[in-house]
Structure 1
Amino acid sequence: MTSTSDFTATTSEGIRRSTDAPTSIFNGEPSRPVSYRVPSGRPHSQRVHLTKSTPAQEDDHLSAMLRDLRSELDIKKREEKILQAEISAILSQASVAPEQSRSVGLAVSRLNNNLLLVESSAKDLSSELTTIASLANNISEKVCILDEAKSRVVDCLQMVNDMTDLGTCSDGVDEAINKEEYELAAQYIHRFLTLDKAVFQFETSDQEIGDTMQHNYKVLSSAAQRLKGILEKKRDEALSTENVPQLHRFTKLFPLLNEHDAGLTRFASFVSKQIDAKGESNLKIMAAGGTDEKRRKILYADTLFHFFEGVADILDANLSVIESSYGGERLISFIAIIQRNVDDIACKVLEEFNTRRKFKQKKKMVRNWGSTNSASGNQTEQIDPMELDSLLFELCQMNANAEMYWKFVRKKFAKHLSSIGKVDDEDGKEESAEEAQKREERKKAMQHNLDLQLNRSMLGTKMQELSGDYILLEQFYMNVCIEKAIQSEQRDEDGSLTSSLIDDVIYLLRKCSKRALSCANADCVCAAMNNFAGLLQDPLLQHLQTVIKTGFPSSGFAAEALQTAQNAYNAIQHGKTDGGSEAQKDTFLTALNNSRTMMDMLAELKKSLEAEFSKFGSDERERTKLLHSLSQFDDFSRQLQNSTAHGVASLARALFKSRLKTSCETYVDLPHSLTSEQLTQYEANEPFISNFNVAIDKLFAAFEPLLIKDNYETLLLCTCSECYKHFERVIGKCQFNRFGALQLDREVRQLNSYLSAVVGWKAREKGARLSQIVSLLNVETLDEAVDVWQSSSSSRLISPSEAISILQLRSDLPHNLIVNLKL
C-alpha cells in the first residue's frame, strides 16, 4: 500500500511535470496544438489547447492551468485522507483479533506439510508404475514367443494329420475303385485335393519318408484321373439308358473331384433334353387344337401353362442334385443353361399365337386408331370387341403363366439362400455382425443375378412386349366400349333414376381390373389403372359435364316449372319423352343422377380392388405401388362431385329462385309496425309464413321422385340457402316496431322448424345469419343491442356496419343514437 509521503511526492512530481510542460512549448517547440488530459472530476469543455500566442495570453493560460492543478491537488488530498482512515480501520481490526491470523498461519503450515507428503507418495507411485511396465513388457514378449511356438506346434500337428490322411487315402483309394465304391473313392480324392500344398513341399532328411510321400502323391493323382474317366463313362451309360438314379449318383461325385463344370454341363444337357421332349409334346397338342374344345379361345395360354408345369416337375425332380452338391452359384449357371431350352419352346408358342390370332395385324390397327386417315378408321372398325375381349384374356393368362414359372424358380432358389451361413463354427462361436452383413450381401447379389437371368432371357423379353401390347389393346377396348355405352344410353322401363351408362361403365371397369390382376404383374396392373383413369376422364366425364353444363331449361313462371317437373316425372315413369325441352330436362336430371351414382359405385369398386391388391404377392413395395395407383379414382370422383354440385345449384336457380323471389316480395306489402292486438291476431291467423312453407314444400315434393337421395338433399340445401337469402333481402326493405320484430322472430322460427324437418340440422347452419339479424331486431334498447352483439362474438356472421343498418330498421329506436352507436 502506498504511504502518504510517497503519494505526496508523486503528486508533487506530477505538478512539476505539468508546470514544466508549457515552458518547452514557449521555448521554440513546434506550433501544433497540445491537448492535456482533463483531470478526473473536471468537464471536457475545460480542456486547454495551447498554441503560439502573445505573452499576455500565455500568462493568462498559465494562471488558469495553475488554478486547475491546485483544485486537482485538493481533491487528491481529500482522497488521501479517506484512504488513510480506511487503512487505520483495517489495522485496528487486525490488532484486535491476532488469534485469527495465527490460526490461518497454522492451517497454511499444515497444508504445506500435506503437499510435501503427497509429492513424496506420487514419486513412489511413479517408480512402481515404471517397474510394473517393464515387467509387463517382459511378460508380453514371452507370451508372443509362446503364441508363435503354439502356432508352429499346431501347424506341425496339422501337417502330421495331413500326412496321415494322405497315407490313408493312398492306401484305400485303389481298393475302393476296384470294389466300385465310387463315393468312398471320391471322398479320398477330395481329401487329397483339399490338403495343404505345404505337405507336398515338405523337405525331410529321412529318405524313406520322402519316398513314401512322393509315392502317395503319384498314386492319388493317378487315381483321380482314373476315377474321373470311370465316372464319365458310368454317367454316359446312365444317360443312354435313361437311368435317372444312377445319373444322379454319378453327377453328385464330380464336385468332389473339382470337376464342377463337367458334371454340371452334362447334367444340364440331360435336363434340357427332358424339357425339349416335354415342349415338343405340348406343341403337338397345340397343333392339334388342344384337348378341350371349350378352351380353344385360350389355347396358347393353356399350352404355356402345361409346358411350364412340366418344366416345374422336371426341375423339382432334378434340382436337389445341384442344390446339395454344386451350391448356389452353380445353381444360377444351371438355370441359365436350361432357360435357353425353355425360351425356345415358349417362343415357338408365341410365334404360333401371333400367326393364328393375327396379333400383329390387330396391333397395327389399334395403333392407327384415332388417325385422321380414313383407311385406318376402316381398319379399326373391323376389330370385333368380343374377339378382342377373348384375346386380351388370353394375353393375361400367358403373362400369368410366365410369372407362375418364375415364381416357382425363385422359390426353389430361396430355399438355398435361406440355408446360407446358418451353421455356426465348430467351436460354437456365434456369427459376428461383419460376417452376417457379408452373408446378407452375398444373398442379395445371388438373388439379383437370378432376377437378371430370368428378366433378360428371351421369355422375359417376350413377356414384357406382350405386357405392353396388352396395355395398348386394353385401352382401345375400354375406349370403344365406353363410347358404345354412351351412344346406347337409355333408362330402364322400371322407372330407374339412372341410365344404363353407369352399370355398363362400372361392369367394364370391374371386368378389366380383374383381368389386369390376373396378369400377376404389378407394373402391368398399375399401367392398366392409369389407362382406366384417363379413359374415365376423357369420354365419360366430358360427356356428363357437357350435359350438366347445358343446364336445366328455365321456365318463365313458377307454375310452369312445377308442371315441367311433373311432366318429367310422368315421362320417366312411362319410359318415354315428348322430345325437345322435355327431353333436355330428362337428360339433365339423368346426368345428375348418373354422376352421383357413379361416385358411390366407384368408391365400392375401389374398396374391393384395395382388398385384392392387399393380397397381391409378397412384396410390400409392389402392394404399395398398386394401392397408390387407385388414388387417380379419387381425383375423378372429386371432379364428378364438383360437376354434380354445379348442376344441382343451376337447377335450384332455374326453378326455385324466381318462385322464392316472388313469394318473398309479398312480405313487403304486409304491415310490420304492429299493435299488441295485431300480434295476437297474427298468432291465430298467420298471413305469410305458412303459405310460403306450403309453396316450398310443393316444389320439393315435385322433384323428390326425380332425383336420387344425395342429389335431392343437395337440392334441398341449395334451396334452403336461397330461402334465407331472399328472406333477408326483403327484411331489409321493411320497418319494424317491437311487436313487428316479435312477429318476425316467430316467422323465422317457423321457417327454421320446417326447413330443419325437411333438410336436417344443416338448415340451421344456413339460417344462422338470419337468426342473428332477427336477434338484433328484437332488442328493446340500444344497450341490449350492444349486449347481444358482444355475446355473439365467437360466431358472428354480420359486420358492425351491417348491424347498424339492421338496427335502423326499427322505427321505434332513436336513429341518431343508432348512427353513433359503437359496436
Structure 2
Amino acid sequence: MVPTAQELPLVTLQEHEKDTLVKNTHSSADPTLEYIRSLTNVADIQECLRQLEQEENKVDADLDELLAEREELEASLDKLEVLDNTLDDLLWNNIRPQLGGLQNESKILVNIISETSGLAEGISAKVRQLDLEQSRVQMAIKHVEDVQELKFCISGIQRAMVQSDHEDAARYMHKAHGFDKKILQGSFAEIAVPTASNPEYPTVILANSKAQLLDIISREFESAVQRQSEEDITRYFKLFPLLGEEQVGLDKYSKFVCAIVSGKAQAAMVGSLYLFYRAAKSPTFYADTLIRLFESVAIIIDQHQPVVEKYYGPGKMLRVIQRLQEESDVRSRKILEAFEEEREIKRKVAEIKAFKDPKRHVLQASGSIRSLTPQLGVSSSQQATTVPEVIDPRELDINLNEMVLISQRSHLYNRFLESRAKSEIEHFTNEDQVEGTAVEKPKDLYSESGLLRVSGLSRKVEEIIDYYLAIEEFFLRRSVDKAMKIDEYDVGNKTSSCVDDVFYILKKTISRAVNTSNVDCMAAMINYIKNTLEADYIAVFQRNMASVFSSGDTKEARFQYMVLLNNINVSIDYLQKLTAEIEQESMSSITSLSEQALDKAKVVLSGLTASTRKFKQLLNMGIEELFERTLRPRLGPLLLDSYKGIKYIVTDEEYAEQESLNSFVHRLMSGFDALIEPLKAALTEENYNQVIGSTVTCLAKEWEQLIFQTKFNKLGAIRFDKDLRAIGFHLVSLTSFPVRERLTRLNQMVMLLDLEELADLDEIWGNNSGAITWRLTEKEVRHVLSSSFTKTFPLIESAMNKINHDQLLSLEHPFIKVGQTVTLVTPNFASPQAEAPIPVEKLKSSLRTSQKHIEKEIANLTDKVTEISKKSSQGSMDPTQVEAALDTIVNRLSTLKRKLKDTRADEALYSQRTKVRLQHLQDFTSISTLDSDEFARWSRIRLNRIVIDYLLREGFRDTASLLAKSERIEDLVDIELFAQSAKVEQALMRQSCTECLQWCKENNSSLKKIKSTLEFSLREQEFIELARVGRSEEAIDYARKHLTPWKDTHMKEIRHVMALLIYGPKTKCYPYKRLYDKSRWNDLIALFRSNNFALQFFTPEPLLNVTLQAGLAALKTPMCYQPDNRNIYCPVCDPETLGALATDLPLSHHFNSSIVCRISGQIMNEDNLPMALPNGYVYSFNALTEMASLNNGKITCPRTGSVFDVSQMKKVFIS
C-alpha cells in the first residue's frame, strides 16, 4: 500500500517542506486561491493566513463605516417623515425636490454598500476555506507528534525493562495505553514506530511488553509478601493499575490481607492443650476469639483503605472487602464449630428436646405458698414430687451469655462491613462500574451493599440463635418452675418470694434476648415469656385461688387468699416496669435496624404489655371473690342495724336529740371500721383501695334503696344531709380511692330534698343544670321529689319536660343571627365567619352595589348637564345639539330606572326570605314542650332544611330543588347560591381555571380578608399545565407575570413548581410527580368550595354533619375504637357509616356511663345484671340465659368461641 501525504514518515515530510519553501519564496502580497492551495509549508500558510486576516479586518472596518452612515441617513429620513404631519403644503413642496435627490443619493449609497457586503462575503468564504485547511494541517501535526510520543514510550518501556526499572516501565506502559486506538493501529504508526531491532507493530510490542512486565511485577509482589516487606508490597501494588490490571492487583492484595487474617485466626486457635485450658478457664473464650477476628478485619480495612484509594481510586476497596468477608466467613465458622463441639451445645439441645414436659402439672400441688407456720405450708407428699435435673442450669446460663455475645458482636461486625461497602459503592455512578470492581459471582448472591446476602457467618449465627432459643426456653421454664415450687411467705411481708424470683429471671432472660440484636429472636423469646407467664405463673395463682377456700372460709384461708392477690398486684406493677425498661433498652440497642425491623420490635414489646390484661382480670375476679365472701354479706345487716330507731320525718325535739346522739353515724362507722381493718393490714395499697371502692359502691346502693323507701320532711332532709357528709368524710380518711364519686347519687338526692319549693327545680334541672351531670334518672328524680313533695306530680312533670331553646338554636347559627357567637361541638369546625343571615348579607350587598351605581350615574349626569348648560350659554352648541345631548341623558336615566327596578325586586326577595326565616325561629321560641305537635312540625321543617343543605353541597341541586318545592320551604334555603357556584365547579372539572379566576377577581377584596390562597393555587395549576405540554417559554413568561406577585408569601411553592421546567410529566421523582397528578383539580374544587362557603357565611361542613356529630360526640367513648368492645347498636362503633363522622370528635365527658351488652345491645343494670364468664368477658344476664336456654345450658363466648356451662357465669360489680 502506498502511504498518503498525511501518513508519510517524519523525514519525508521535512524534505517535502524544504522543497516547497524554495518554490514559494516569491509569495505575492495578494495571494490567489490557486496559490493558497499550492502551499505546503506551514510558515507560508501561516503568513498567508495573517495577510488574509489583516485584509478581512480592513474590509470589516470599511463595512462598519458604511453601515454607520446608513443608520444616520435612515434616521434623517425618519425625522423628515415626522415633520410631514406638521409642515404646511407650501413648505413641503419646496423641500420635496431636494428630498428626492437625497433619496437617489441614498439608493446609490445602498447599492455601494450591498456590493461591498458581497465582496466581504466572498472574502469570508475564502477565510473559512483557509481555516479548514489549517485545521487539517494541525491534525496532521498532532498525529505526527502522537506517533513520535508513542515511539518514545515504547523505547522507554524496552530500556526500563532492560534496566529492571519496573516503575518507569509501568509509567511508560500507562502512557502508551493512553493513546487513541486510531493512533496505535494506524498505518502511519505501523511504519514510523518499528525499528530494525524491533520490527513488530506497536500493538504487538505493547502487548508483549505488558505481559512480560505483568509477570515480573506479580512475581516481585508475591516475593515481597513472602518476605513481609511492606515497602516492596506497596511499591509493586501501585504498579498494577498503571498496566490496566486493577482487578489482578486487587485480587493479589486481597489474598495478602486475607492471609494476615487467616494467620491471626490460626494463631488464636492453635494448640489443643492451650485451647482446652483457655476454653475451660474463660466462659467467653470463643466469643472473645471471634471478636479478635472481627477486630483484625476492621483494622485491616481501616489501615489499607487509604492505600487502595490512593493508587486505585475511590470505590476500589469494595473488592478487597468482599474477599475479606469470604475469608472471615471461613475462619468464623471454624471458631463457632469449635464452640459447639467444646461446649457440647448440640448434645445439650438434643437432651432438652428429648426431655418432655417435666410434669408441669406438679405445680398444681406443689405451687402453694410455704410459710413459717405449719398451717400455711404444704404436705410432705406434695414436696416430694420433684423434677429430675438433666443439665446444670448454671452451666446453661454461662453458655447462653456466650451465645448472646457471639450474636451481638456478629451483628455489629456485619453492620461495619455493610457501612464500609456502601461507602465504597457510593463512589460509582452506574451498575457497570460496580460490576467491573466487584468479585465475579452471580448477582443474586449479593445485596445492594455489594456484600453477600447470606454469608457463612450469618448462617452459622442463625444456627447459634436456634440453639440459644431452645436452651433459653428450657432455662426459663425450669427456673420459673423452681421459683414457684420453693415459694415462701415471710411474716411481715405482703407478698411471697416467688414474685421477686420470677421477675428477676424474666428480666435476665429478656435482657439477653434484646442483646442478641436479633429482632426475630427477641420476638420469639418474648412470646415464649408470655406463654410461660400464663401457663406456669398465672395458672398457679388461679389454681391456688380456686382451692384456698376448699376447707372453708377460715381466717388462715382468707389471709392466704389476700397474699395471692398481693402477688398478682405486685406482678402487674413489675411487668409494667419491666416492659418500660426493656423497651428503652431495646430501642437503644437496635436503632441501626431498618424501619420495618423497628416496627416489628415495637409490636413485639407491645404484646408483652398486653399480658397484663390477664393479670388484671384475675386480680379483679379475686377481689370480687374476696368482697363477696368477706364484706358483702355483712354490709346489708350493718346498714340496717345502724338505722334502727332512725327516721327522717322528725319534729324539732327529735332533731335535737338525733343531733346530740348521732347514733346512726357512730354505729355505721364503727361497724365499717371493724370490717375493713384486717384487710388494710394484709392487702397492698392498690388492692385495699379496690376493695374499698367495691365496698363503698355496694354500701351506697344499699343506702339508696333505703332512701327510696323513706319519707322526709325539711328537718329530716337536713339530718340526712349531715349524716351523708359525716360518713363521706370518714370514708375519705380511710383511703385514697375517690369514694366521693360513689356517693354522687346520694348527694343529688340531698339536693332534691333540700329544695324549698318545686319551682326551684328549674335552677338545677334541664336547661339550667349548668355543670351538674345528673346520675339520677328522671324516674328516680320524681321518686325522690315525691318523698318530700306530696300531691305535686303534674308540677314535677311540667318542670322536667321543657325545651332547651338555647342549645337547639346553637345549631341554627349559620341559618340566622343568634344572640352570641356559638362554638360547635366538633374541634375541626370553627364558628362561621359572621353571625348575619345569608338573605340579610345579600340584601346589604345589593344595597351597597346599587347605591354606588346610582351615585356614580348621578354624578356623571350632573356633570353632563352642567357642561351642556355652559356650552349653551356660550353659544358653542346649537339647539339641535342640546336636544341630542338631553336625549342621551334621558336614555341613561331610563336605563338606570330599569336597573333600579331589578335591584328592588332582588331586595324584595331577600327581605321576604329574611322575614320568613325570622318567623320560622319565632315559631320555635313559642313552643314550650318537647311532646307538642308544634315542635314535631317545626322539627320536620328543620330536618328538611338540613337535608337540602347537604344535597346542595353534594351537587344534587335538582333533588334539593324538588324537595324544597314539595315542602314549600324555598325561602328557607339558598338554592341560587349553589347554582352560581356550580358553573365554576364544572369548569374546574373540565380542567379550566378561567371561570374560577374571574370569580376571584370579582371577590378580590373579600378573599383578601380571609387570606385566601385560591388565586395562587389556580395560577400555579395553569403554570403546571403549560409545563405538562412542554411549552417552557410560555410557562416562564406566565410565571413572571402571574407568580412573581406572590413571591413574598409563596416563594417556597414558586421554587418548587419552577422545577417542573426540568422534570417532565413522566418523572419518577415523587415531589414533582405529585404536582402533575390530575387529582390536584379535585383539590382546587374543594378549595373553591371552602372559600365560597366562607364568603357566603356557610359552615365549612354540611349542617347534617354538624348535627350528627353533635349527637355522636355524646356517644363516643374509648371503647368504640376497641374491636373487642364494639356494640352492634352503637352508631359510633360502625366505621363504615356514621362512625366515620366521629373519627375526629373528642371523647364524651361522661360522669357516669351505661354498660351495653355486646350480644343483645341492651343496657346492663340492676334489672339486667352484668355477668362474667370464666374467660373474663362480660355480657348481660338476659342474653346469656336466653343463649343457654337454646343450647341445653351451654354458653358460647362470641369473642373467643369458648363454651361454658351456664352455672359458671358470675355477677360483676363495677367499681
Q: TM-score, normalised by structure 1?
A: 0.68
Q: Distance in 2 between the 1:709 and 1:773 partners?
A: 31
2:539 matched residue in structure 1: 542
Question: Unpaired runs of 5+ in structure 1?
Answer: 1-137, 422-434, 557-580
Task: Go from structure 1 to structure 2 and tell me whether the alpha carbon gap of 1:190 and 1:541 turns closer, same or farther (over 3 Å shift).
Answer: farther
Residue matched to 1:262: 248
Higher alpha-carbon deviation: 402-411 or 739-748: 402-411
SS in 1 for 2:210: helix
Partners of 1:338 and 1:290 in 2: how far apart? Answer: 28
Alpha-carbon spacing, 1:158–1:296, altered in 2? closer, same or farther (3 Å):
farther
Cα shift readout 1:182-236 (whole Å, capped 9, x = no counterpart): 3343232223224322223445699658999986545434432332122122123
What residue number does 1:602 align with? Answer: 575
1:800 to 756, 778, 788: 778
Cα 1:244–1:522 shift into 2, 3 Å: farther
The 1:480/1:463 distance shift into structure 2, 3 A limit, reads: same
Partner of 2:335: 349
Alpha carbons of 1:413 and 1:611: their partners in 2 closer, same or farther (altered >3 Å)?
A: same
1:553–1:654 Cα contact (<8 Å) kept = no
Distance in 2, Cα, partners of 1:698 & 1:548: 25
- CA RMSD in angstroms comes to 4.2
Instruction: Pick from 156, 161, 180 the counterpart of residue 196 of structure 1.
Output: 180
Residue 547 to residue 781, structure 1, CA distance change in 2 (3 Å) = farther
Residue in structure 2 matching 1:400, options 381, 386, 408: 408
1:271 to 244, 257, 261: 257
The 5 A counterparts of 1:291-306 are 295-306=281-292
Tell me how far apart the structure 2 counterparts of residues 238 and 290 of structure 1 sit (CA, whole Å): 36
Distance in structure 2 (CA, Å) of the matches to 1:224 and 1:293: 53
Question: For 1:266-320, what per-residue CA distance to the aligned partner results, in whole angstroms no more than 9, with x for missing partners?
Answer: 3333333333332322222565246658743333323323333344445555455
What SS does the aligned partner of 2:337 have? helix
SS state of the match for residue 790, structure 2? coil
Q: Does 1:382 align with 2:390?
A: yes
Checking the alignment, whether the CA contact within 8 Å between 1:552 and 1:650 is kept in structure 2 is no
Distance 1:373 1:248, change over 3 A: farther
Aligned match of 1:611: 584
- Please name the residue that 1:502 is paired with: 499
Tell me the equivalent position of 1:468.
466
Q: How many pairs align?
A: 638
Give distance in 1, aligned partners of 2:135 and 2:549. 100
Counterpart pick for 2:746 among 767, 770, 786: 770
Aligned position for 2:646: 670
Deviation at 1:635? 0.6
**C-alpha separation in 1, matches of 2:528 and 2:518:** 16
Pairing of 1:563-642 with structure 2 (within 5 A) = 581-616=554-589, 617-619=591-593, 621=595, 622-642=597-617
The corresponding residue for 2:417 is 409
Match among 266, 273, 289 for residue 280 of structure 1:
266
* Cα offsets for 1:577-606 (capped at 9, x unmatched): xxxx44432332122212221222223222
User: How far apart in 2 are the matches of 1:458 and 1:386?
Assistant: 31
Q: What is aligned with 2:787? A: 809
- What letter matches 1:685 in structure 2? L
Counterpart position of 1:482: 480
1:652, distance to aligned residue in structure 2 (A) = 2.4
Counterpart residue type for residue 679 of structure 2: F
Q: Deviations over 1:159-188 (max 9, x none)?
A: 677556534533433344445443343232
Tell me the distance in 2 between the aligned counterparts of 1:151 and 1:476: 87
Segment of structure 1 superposing worse, 647-656 or 151-160:
151-160
Distance 1:583 1:173, change over 3 A: farther
Q: Distance in 2 between matches of 1:649 and 1:373?
A: 32
Q: Does the 8 Å contact 1:162/1:199 carry over to 2?
A: yes
Number of the residue aligned with 2:723: 747
* 1:697 to 1:152, Cα distance in 2 relative to 1, 3 A: farther
Residues 741 and 777 of structure 1 are in contact (CA less than 8 Å); yes or no, is this contact kept in structure 2? yes
Question: How much has 1:674 moved relative to structure 2?
Answer: 0.4
Bigger Cα displacement from structure 2, 289-298 vs 404-413: 289-298
Matched, 1:690 2:666: yes
Does 1:704 find its partner at 2:702? no
| Partner of residue 523, structure 2 | 526
Higher relative contact order (CA 8 A, sep 6+): 1
439-448 or 542-551, larger mean C-alpha shift: 439-448
Could you tell me how far apart the structure 2 residues matched to 1:154 and 1:665 are? 125
TM-score, normalised with respect to structure 2? 0.48
The C-alpha deviation readout for 1:691-721, integer Å capped at 9, x for no partner, is 2122222333322221112222222222221
Kept in 1: contact 2:316–2:437 (CA 8 A): no
> Does the CA contact (< 8 Å) of 1:366 and 1:473 recur in 2?
yes
Deviation per CA, 1:513-537, whole angstroms, max 9, x where unpaired? 2222332334333332333233223
Larger radius of gyration: 1
Correspondence 1:658 to 2:633: yes
Unpaired segments ≥5 residues, structure 2:
1-120, 361-384, 801-1215
Q: Which moved more, 1:622-631 or 1:667-676?
A: 622-631
Q: Which moves more between the two structures, 225-234 or 213-222?
A: 213-222
2:758 aligned residue (758, 782, 790): 782
How far the C-alpha of 1:391 sits from its partner, in A, is 1.5
The amino acid across from 1:642 in the alignment is: Q
Cα deviation for residue 504 of structure 1 reads 1.1
Residue aligning to 1:125 = none
* 1:368 CA drift (Å): 3.4
Partners of 1:403 and 1:813 lie apart in 2 by 83
- Indicate if the aligned counterparts of 2:407 and 2:516 stay in contact, CA closer than 8 A: yes
| Alignment equivalent of 2:222, drawn from 223, 232, 236 | 236
Give the percent of matched residue pairs that are identical in Structure 1 and Structure 2.
Answer: 24
Could you tell which deviates more after superposition, 355-364 or 162-171?
162-171
C-alpha spacing 1:726/1:236, structure 2 compared with 1 (3 Å) = same
Deviation at 1:650, TM superposition (A): 2.8
CA distance in 1 between partners of 2:610 and 2:356 (Å): 26
Alignment of 1:178-217 (within 5 A): 178-202=162-186, 208=192, 216-217=202-203
Q: Residues 668 and 373 from structure 1, CA distance in 2 versus in 1: closer, same or farther, beyond 3 angstroms?
A: closer
Q: Secondary structure at the match of 1:297?
A: coil
Equivalent residue runs for 1:541-560 within 5 Å: 541-548=538-545
Task: From the two aligned structures, give the one with the greater helix fraction.
Answer: 1
Specify whether residues 268 and 287 from structure 1 end up closer, same or farther in structure 2 by C-alpha distance, changes over 3 A only.
Answer: farther
**What whole-Å deviation, never above 9, does each CA across 1:344-365 have from its counterpart, x for those lacking one?**
3333333333333322222122
- Distance, in Å, in 1 between the alignment partners of 2:430 and 2:330 is 40
**Native 8 Å contact 1:286 1:300 kept in 2:** no
Partners of 1:593 and 1:708 within 8 A in 2:
yes
- Write the distance in 1 (CA, Å) between the matches of 2:793 and 2:263: 109
Select which of 226, 237, 245 maps to 1:251.
237
**CA shift digits 1:634-680 (9 cap, x unpaired):** 11123323332332233223222222211211326522210122112
Give the structure 1 partner of residue 962 of structure 2. Answer: none
Give the residue type in structure 2 aligned to 1:465: E
